[in-house]
Structure 1
Amino acid sequence: MQAARLHEYTEDMSQALTVEEIDRPEITRSDGVVIEVEGAGWCQTDNHIIEGMWTDYVEQDLPMTLGHENAGEVVEVGEEVDLVGEGDKVICHPVMTCGKCRPCRLGQDMYCENLEFPGLTTDGGFAEYLFTSERSVIPLPEGVDTTDIAPHADAGITAYHAVKKADRELNPGDHAVVIGVGGLGHIGLQCLEAMSPVTITAIDLKEEARELAEELGAHHTVDPTSESVADAIDEITDGVGAQQVIDFVGRDETTAYGPDITAAGGDHHIVGYGGHVHQPSQTLVNGEFAYRGTLVGEYTELQELVALVERGDVELRTSRYDLDDVNTVAERLEHGEIEGRAVITP
């Protein structure tokens, strides 16, 4: 089968992956599932993997097939699999979990002590076929397009997970801020609008992104290039600040907003990453302000997100690319030239 493989870490996205012929995955365990990939979302994390950013956190054996936002049709299952069968359409939770360790027993999939992560630690879905497990697949309702929904496997569930955490701290009449209305942020904004009766302010450098934010339900937008973000939020919230800030950018400039725009007792959720947090410890003490990280989400949260998609509350803006276009996608994303989510169709 054809697969897009990473052979060495590089910052040159133009030749990052090599499309080559490798063996199709086989069922090697009783709970195994092989799917024919019909959509594999390209994520900023894929660029970070190519750059070698993840080597300090996980073991990676190169060459490796990337792609962790996967959906498609089941073509083969292990002898103990009964959740799905051949011909079923599925979306894949990004990780394969053991189901036996304490985090798994608690439903905390991303903390699994025996976790395998296709596209990060094992071969992923930028290929014609993908090996995963029964615990990872979610059957899709009839009529849901596997190509369009694929990015929800990571981008969607990550945005939803962050919004769900924020929503627990929000009450009617509160204010929430969404930073970045791109591939992740446009999903998160829709989730927030569907789940929480709050006033939403979206911050983005691009005019078209701010216009999209208003279309998707934002009550206010802020252009950080033409006005002070802190002053704008202060005026919108009558000096109180936003109870929850969800940062889909995660650069130094955006993490710095937190203490200046967040209400007392509020949180700045970091979803996008690549930058740093530079604040004195007293910042966290004053008003009990907190930075909170976001690591994908749980299997059940992906089920919940699929329900929102089926109901029409969350719609992805996607563009499709052939497997041979993987490096073009990497370059375009690196330069901020992709609106919404890019999906590889092997």
Structure 2
Amino acid sequence: MKAAVLHAFDEKLTAKEFVKYEDVADPKITRPSDVVVRIGGAGVCRTDLHIVEGIWRSKVDVNLPYIMGHENAGWVEAIGPGVEGIKVGDPVICHPLVTSGHCLACRRGNDMHADDSVFPGINANGGYAQYLLTGQRSLIKLPKTLAPKDVAPYTDAGLTAYRAAKKASRHLLPGQYVAVIGAGGLGHIGIQVLAALCAAEIIVVDRDDKSLELAKTCGAHHLVKADGNEVEATLALTGGRGAEAVIDFVGEGEAVARGLAMTANDGFYYVVGYGGKIELPTIDLITTEKTIVGNLVGSYAELVELMKLADRGLVQLHTKEYKLSAANDALHDLHHGRIHGRAVLVP
């Protein structure tokens, strides 16, 4: 099969080619629960750039060369002898983690904290290819309204955004505010989820005018330009108290300190993006009673819930398609901020 393969790390992201488009061996079924999916779409994520940079080397054990791509959807191509409930040809979206289902975390629905797991595209070959090896427990059948290439990024970007927005929606009341920092690939999904799940007013903070325009179409009630005065602007919108919830899809640079500053006392700061540091005197955390919440990719059940919202048209992805052979173009466009929404590779 054809695949876009990572052969070497590039810490400064200066190479003309991050991956090489080449022939590799087809994935093979070795376990009864294995499934091979013919890729219909593979999302291009900022995490992929971090992988190219080598940031994940300290977190996962992976040997180069290997195939990135952890946001995948397509059609069932082949199934192991123990697979039930799906058949060849079924359109599916893949939860990003492949687990056995036997550990206590799995049985509680905490897929991302499973004792025994494989994460295609992170610590195993992923979906920047014509075919992907995954497992039966990871697959969700798609309704006729949703095409694989249109939903692939939901498996990480959408699922992560959904998990954070769902947490926030559980305590947000009418008359309260939620601030979303970053209206890009994850943020524009999170805004729509918030609009679907709660009645709080949504403030969106971003430095890019096009991203703010996108945020408005996604359901934002207030737009704030990230120009160094976003804390003051957010406090003004909320009557000086700050937002009861802040969801930070940036998580680096000045966004972290400013996100905490625009969080109301007794409010919640949900950090999704990474690369920065949280530095806060303990006395300030005590006196303000702010809650800081980390957010990892969501569970299988949450991906099912997100697909229900997508099926009803309550959440829509803004995507830009690239051929699989143009994976480097997509990665460079993402790196240089030329993508508003999500990029998707189509074999």
TM-score (norm: length of structure 1)? 0.97
Tell me, yes or no, if the aligned pair for 2:248 and 2:259 is still in contact at 8 Å: no
Hey, what's the Cα distance between the residues in 2 that align with 1:171 and 1:51?
A: 41
Q: Would you say the 8 A contact 1:259–1:283 is kept in 2?
A: no
CA distance in 1, matches of 2:126, 2:260: 38
1:151 and 1:341 in contact (8 A); partners too: yes
Counterpart position of 1:149: 151
Residues 142-178 of structure 1 show CA distances to partners (whole Å, capped at 9, x for unaligned) of 1311101000011000000010111122122210001
The Cα shift of 1:14 comes to 2.4
* Distance (whole Å) between structure 2 residues aligned to residue 54 and residue 96 of structure 1: 19
1: CA distance between counterparts of 2:59 and 2:83? 32
CA contact (8 A) 1:13 1:331 kept: no
SS at match of 1:194: helix
> Could you tell me which amino acid in structure 1 is paired with residue 322 of structure 2?
Y
Question: What pairs with 1:144-223 in structure 2 (closer than 5 Å)?
Answer: 144-223=146-225
SS of residue in 2 equivalent to 1:252: coil
Q: Deviations over 1:215-272 (max 9, x none)?
A: 22111111121x6222212111112211110011111211111332111111111112
Take 2:24 and 2:214, find their aligned partners in 1: how far apart are those partners?
Answer: 41
Instruction: Report how far residue 13 of structure 1 moved.
Output: 4.8
CA distance in 1, matches of 2:200, 2:254: 25
How far apart, CA to CA, are the structure 1 residues paired with 2:218 and 2:22?
40
1:282 and 1:326 map into 2 onto residues whose CA distance is 48
Deviation at 1:336, TM superposition (A): 0.9
Moved more, 117-126 or 227-236: 227-236
Q: Does structure 1 residue 228 correspond to structure 2 residue 229? A: yes
Residue pair 1:37, 1:72 contacting (<8 A) in 2 also: yes
Matched, 1:20 2:19: no
Distance in 2 (alpha carbons) for counterparts of 1:170 and 1:271: 18
1:279 Cα deviation after fit: 2.3
CA contact (8 A) 2:210 2:340 kept: no
- Provide the secondary structure at the position in 2 that maps to 1:304: helix
Name whichever of 324-333 and 189-198 sits farther off: 324-333
Deviations 1:37-63 (A, max 9, x none): 010000000000111111111111211
Q: Which range is displaced more, 137-146 or 228-237?
A: 228-237
Where does residue 346 of structure 2 map in the other structure? Answer: 345
1:90 alignment partner, one of 73, 89, 92: 92
CA deviation vs aligned residue, 1:173-198 (integer Å, no higher than 9, x gap): 21000111111100000000111100
Q: Number of paired residues?
A: 345
Q: What is the CA-CA distance between 1:138 and the residue it aligns to?
A: 0.4
How far has the Cα of 1:288 moved from its partner? 1.2
In the alignment, residue 169 of structure 2 is paired with which amino acid?
D
Q: Say whether 1:259 aligns with 2:251.
A: no
Counterpart secondary structure, 1:62: coil
Q: Say yes or no: does 1:246 pair with 2:247.
A: yes
Query: TM-score w.r.t. structure 2 length?
Result: 0.97
Q: Which residue of 2 aligns with 1:80?
A: 82
SS at match of 1:19: strand
After TM superposition, give the deviation of residue 305 of structure 1 in Å: 0.3
Task: Give the equivalent residue in structure 1 for 2:114.
Answer: 112
SS in structure 1 opposite 2:321?
strand
SS in 2 for 1:104: helix
CA contact (8 A) 2:181 2:259 kept: no
Query: Residues 179 and 245 of structure 2 are in contact (CA less than 8 Å); yes or no, is this contact kept in structure 1?
Result: yes
2:9 equivalent to 1:9:
yes
One-letter amino acid matched to 1:6: L
Q: For 2:115 and 2:42, locate their aligned partners in 1 and report how far apart those are by CA, in whole Å.
A: 26
Report matched runs for 1:36-115 at 5 Å. 36-115=38-117
Give the superposition deviation at 1:4: 1.1
Aligned residue for 2:118, secondary structure, equals coil
SS in 2 for 1:161: helix
Find the counterpart in structure 1 of residue 141 from structure 2: 139
Q: Secondary structure at the match of 2:98?
A: coil
| Structure 1 vs Structure 2 CA RMSD | 1.1
CA contact (8 A) 1:92 1:136 kept: yes
Cα distance in 1 for partners of 2:184, 2:283 equals 32
Paired residue for 2:337?
336
SS in 2 for 1:325: helix
In structure 2, how many angstroms separate the alpha carbons of the residues matched to 1:103 and 1:12? Answer: 40
Shift of 1:323: 1.3
Cα distance in structure 2, aligned partners of 1:167 and 1:312: 19
Aligned CA distance change for structure 1 residues 262 and 205 (closer, same or farther; 3 Å): same
Structure 2 letter corresponding to 1:5: V
Deviates more, 1:203-212 or 1:311-320: 203-212
Partner of 1:321: 322
CA contact (8 A) 1:14 1:330 kept: no
User: Percent same amino acid at aligned positions?
Assistant: 45
SS state at 2:267 partner? strand
Is residue 70–residue 150 contact of structure 1 (8 Å, CA) maintained in 2?
yes
